[in-house]
Amino acid sequence: MTRPGGAPEDRGGPRAGDAAGGPPGDAAGGPPGDRSARAVTTRGGRTLMAAEWGDPGGVPVVLLHGTPGCRLDRHPNDELVRSLGVRLVTYDRPGYGGSHRHRGRRVVECAPDVAAVADALSLDRFAVWGMAGGGPHALAVAARLPDRVTRALCVRCVAPYDALGDDWFVGMDPRNVEELQAALRGEDQLADRLREEDRRIRRAVLVDPSRVLEGYGLPEGDRWVLARPDFSETIRRSTFERTRNGVWGWVDDDLAFVLPWGFDPASIVAPVRLEFGQADVLVPPGHGSWLANRMPGADVVVHLASSMADPDGDLAARLGWLTRGTAAAAAGLSRRT
């Protein structure tokens, strides 16, 4: 496999062939006082774009988006998050949305980025939650920040490629197989493929946001959730925000997935919960099974059918687990100085 070359950081803007912006009148942020766009500077000088949702005084949970994705990806009902007493924090991984690219990054290198976001928002301790491609990154944060992470939840988490080899692709939708095999061939081929895929997705979402995963063999329950008006609007905004400066975040995620992660999930000391679906074609169940075997102390929840069928109930259950037994003062509401 080919590791991306070049300097460790790339702060450039759009390049030839990159997408820029969304439909007319679309914007990533909102009116004054909106918390969906806050710039954070890392120690290396890169900018990360973060957002907050829910209760500003609630128990902090850092949600790491999937691949591709951005900080706008979350449950669309902010009042529901607020009612659960959670301060939900999201951010664009490098190369997505408003965050500078970090070319050649490995999965483990997200830990100092999350620490920078947490420091900027005065969070001491917090839970982490990773969705799909965000799952390995959530595990990395838990492994590398053991004194700060209270709990870690991974939903549809991919396993390390070097652990599974060719079995990594078993049960995976052909489109995902083609994409990740392109990652094994290197950055140039992958970037060309993802530019084409990004254009296809944008065209579909302009017509109907629920078509964002059109052509994948999703369960009926998942398709129903994507068609909900509130989820469709979140999908629309996220689709045009995540690649507004090109597909580089997506490229670097895929390249990182087929390289060694840089840490051992078995080293995590915080409580971990793994959720995966037996019918999932985006992240097949073999990935979740490998992680469960590697972390025998983890709670494991296996969905027999759709993994998105009850998003409101699932949100309450997941945030309830992430904040269980965690007093507000001990969970991160004490401010860092």
- Domain annotation covers residue 20: no
The predicted pLDDT at position 30 comes to: 47
245-277 pLDDT tens trace: 999 999 999 999 999 999 999 999 999 999 998
- Domain annotation covers residue 316: yes
- Domain annotation covers residue 101: yes
289-307 pLDDT tens trace: 999 999 999 999 998 865 5
CA distance 95 to 102: 7
CA distance 293 to 6: 36
**Phi and psi based region of residue 45 (left: phi greater than 0; alpha: psi -120 to 50; beta: remaining):** left
CA distance 239 to 205: 8
Q: How many domains does the chain have?
A: 1
Q: Residue 157: is its pLDDT beyond 50? A: yes
The predicted pLDDT at position 213 comes to: 62
- Domain annotation covers residue 15: no
Average pLDDT over residues 171-177: 93
DSSP-based three-state secondary structure for 216: coil
The CATH number for 136's domain is: 3.40.50.1820
Residues above pLDDT 70, as percent of the chain: 80
Contacts of 312 (CB under 8 A, 6+ apart): 75, 77, 80
What domain range includes position 185?
38-333
CA distance 105 to 95: 10
Is residue 71 within 8 A of residue 38, CB to CB? The reply is no
- Domain annotation covers residue 14: no
- Domain annotation covers residue 53: yes
Half-sphere exposure of 299 (CA within 13 A, CB side): 14
Q: Residue 216: is its pLDDT beyond 70? A: no
Average pLDDT over residues 176-187: 96
CA distance 286 to 159: 8
The predicted pLDDT at position 327 comes to: 52
pLDDT bin (cut points 50, 70, 90) of residue 190 is: very high
Q: What is the DSSP string of 116-154?
A: HHHHHTT-SSEEEEEETTHHHHHHHHHHH-TTTEEEEEE
The predicted pLDDT at position 141 comes to: 98
Q: Which of 132, 245, 135, 250 is nearest to 187 (CA)?
A: 250
The predicted pLDDT at position 254 comes to: 98
Contacts of 196 (CB under 8 A, 6+ apart): none
The predicted pLDDT at position 16 comes to: 34
**Measured between alpha carbons, how far is residue 191 from residues 52, 97, 172, 248, 285 in Å?**
30, 16, 21, 8, 27
pTM above 0.75, yes or no: yes
Single-letter residue type at 215: G
Better pLDDT: 211 or 107: 107
Half-sphere exposure of 257 (CA within 13 A, CB side): 30
Q: Which residues of 224-234 are buried (b: 16+ CB within 10 A; e: fewer)?
A: bbbeeeebbeb
- Domain annotation covers residue 122: yes
Sign of CA dihedral 181, 186, 189, 190: positive
DSSP-based three-state secondary structure for 61: strand
- Domain annotation covers residue 168: yes
Q: Residue 337: is its pLDDT beyond 70? A: no
If you search the block for the tokens 């990054």, which residue do you land on?
Answer: 105
Please state, as a whole number, how many other Cβ atoms lie within 10 Å of the Cβ of residue 255.
25
Better pLDDT: 200 or 216: 200
pLDDT bin (cut points 50, 70, 90) of residue 335 is: very low
